[in-house]
Amino acid sequence: MNNRLYGNLIFELSHPGRRACSLPENRFGSYEVPDDMRRSQDAALPECDELTVVRHYTNHSANNFGVNNGFYPLGSCTMKYNPAINEEVAAMPEFANLHPLQPADTCRGALDVYDGLQRALSEISGLAKFTLNPFAGAHGELTGLMIIRTYHERRGDTRRTKVIVPDSAHGTNPASAAVCGLDVVQVKSTPEGIVDVDDLRSLLDDTVAAMMMTNPNTLGLFERNIPEIASLVHGCGALMYYDGANLNPMLGVCRPGDMGFDVMHINLHKTFSTPHGGGGPGAGPVGVRKGLEDLLPGESELSVGPYHGNFAVLLRAYAYILTLGREHIKEVGPLATLNANYIKESLKDVYELPIDKTCMHEFVFDGLKDKSTGVTTMDVAKRLLDYGYHAPTIYFPLLFHESLMVEPTESESKDTIDGFISVMRRIAEEAASEPETVRSAPHNTPIGRVDDVLAAKRPVVTYRQMEAGE
């Protein structure tokens, strides 16, 4: 990888007249394209030889970081290994060439996959029925909230406009509620990081449509008061919504349906084998408890939306579930939990652990324990890049100033995890002995620190061709 040699933009490597192809002689005669359909100037395309093009893109691809080339302990988003065999299944032409409007009797196999996955998700979650339509977690939340809104409307209960969301929730929860036209009301967390039941009690009345919960919550903690919360919420006539974006710690341990949840979504692209990130493909199936099935998309005139979702993602999920099988899927939750707790316990003497409890699949540090060095969570995250690791989630959740959120996932070996622990300890030592090295990291990446604010507010995403004489 050498960006200086190969340039950053293919346009910068262009030489007028250089070609990567030669077309055979035209044997068909020529036709004049009418003037009004022609460009007045040639398209500004890069002109390069074949090997330059190949090297340019190959070297850029080597700058990508993914689960396939390194440890990726991103909290809240479950970046785990997704078996390559599932990619092969998803690419099979029999599946890949299906058309969404194809007659049902020409795609029985695909419909079997659809049914099988629906049933597997019901069994895993304890809910009666799933729609596989939604294309993402956030899309699932919106679908689920629309189902809840319709449920109330159908009962003539039109005053219910509020959705209660914990202050630790993922940002999509309040956003989905707002898009659904509902008002967001925040419920506080206790000092130990779970929903404050007393605060919740004070918010409940006959204007509440639903309570959204994430479990384990965004701090990686198990919400142990769910039975009480569910009975309070149901007692006031509202429904319980479960954000199951990251279901891996629950697999084989407990089921949202058994805890009193009415509606939930699952992110297949986090828990069930689809590589994600950068807005890549996803699926956020929504499940409902018995009695709400007819509100699912395509089920009745009350329901929303007709199609069958992001089928390639559904296929990968089904292949993954069948590969693990009923027996091995039960190991996912305990392993995800074990790995996270092992890292937490191995590092809590040098990183600040604000909530010192057994966590589930992830946990949050509040920066380095020794605050006197001036080394921030951002610096630690940047320094990790030098050692070949993807950074954990930083500055989220917003409950702490220096949040550093780690999720190792169930799929990493002990050696990999021990390697990460030793690098995190080394960075803590560097912060004390040579803080400037950490503060000015990264030193080994093609690009150092970028101006995040400028990049977010005024992103430059196109290349402006220099005009002649400029």
The reply to whether 274 sits near ligand PLP by the rule CB under 6 A is no
Residue 172 interacting with ligand PLP (CB under 6 A): yes
Binding of residue 267 to ligand PLP (CB under 6 A): yes
Q: Which residues pair with 166 in a beta bridge?
A: 187
Work out the burial of residue 43: count CB atoms within 10 Å of its CB; fewer than 13 is exposed, 13-18 middle, 19 or more buried.
exposed
Please identify which residue in 10, 48, 74, 77 interacts with ligand PLP, judged by CB under 6 A. 77
CB of 284 to ligand PLP, least distance (A): 6
Q: How many residues bind ligand PLP (CB under 6 A)?
A: 14
Examine residue 230 and tell whether it contacts ligand PLP (CB under 6 A). no
CA neighbours within 13 Å on the CB side: how many for 271? 28
Measured distance CA(408)–CA(160) in Å, rounded: 40
Stretch that binds ligand PLP, among 121-129, 238-246, 398-406, 432-440 (CB under 6 A): 238-246
Distance CA 12, CA 46 (A): 8
Min separation Cβ 172 and ligand PLP, Å: 4
Dist CA 131 CA 125 (whole Å): 13
* Complex with ligand PLP: residue 77 or 384, whichever CB lies closer: 77
- Token pair recorded at residue 449: 């620190």
Largest CA-CA distance found in the chain, in angstroms, rounded: 83
**Nearest partner of 170 among 242, 99, 239, judged by Cα:** 242
Distance set, CA 432 to CA 331, 349, 365, 382 (Å):
39, 14, 18, 16
Closest to ligand PLP by CB, 136 or 292: 136
Q: Are strands 363-366 and 403-406 parallel, antiparallel or unpaired?
A: antiparallel
Give buried/exposed letters for 267-293 (b at 16+ CB in 10 A, else e): bbbbbbbbbbeeeebbbbbbbbbeebb
Answer whether 358's CB lies under 8 Å from 220's CB.
no
Least Å distance between CB 355 and ligand PLP?
Answer: 17
Residues 6+ apart with CB under 8 A from 255: 124, 125, 126
Q: Please state the closest distance from residue 313 (CB atom) to ligand PLP, in A.
A: 10
Q: How many Å apart are CA 177 and CA 357, to the nearest integer?
A: 31
Please tell me whether residue 137 binds ligand PLP under the rule CB under 6 A.
yes
Residue 397 sits in the site that holds ligand PLP (CB under 6 A):
no
Which residues in 289-318 contact ligand PLP (CB under 6 A)? none
Determine, following the binding rule CB under 6 A, whether residue 214 of this chain makes contact with ligand PLP. yes
- Closest residue to bound ligand PLP by CB: 137
What is the smallest separation between the CB atom of 177 and ligand PLP, expressed in angstroms?
A: 12
Question: In the set 90, 212, 243, 256, which binds ligand PLP (CB under 6 A)?
Answer: 243
Q: Which stretch binds ligand PLP (CB under 6 A): 232-240, 241-249, 387-395, 443-451?
A: 241-249
Residue 82 interacting with ligand PLP (CB under 6 A): no
Shortest separation between residue 218's beta carbon and ligand PLP, angstroms: 6
Which lies closer to ligand PLP via its Cβ, residue 140 or residue 297? 140
407 contributes a contact to ligand PLP by CB under 6 A: no
What residue ranges bind ligand PLP (CB under 6 A)?
76-77, 136-138, 170, 172, 214, 243, 245-246, 267, 282, 284
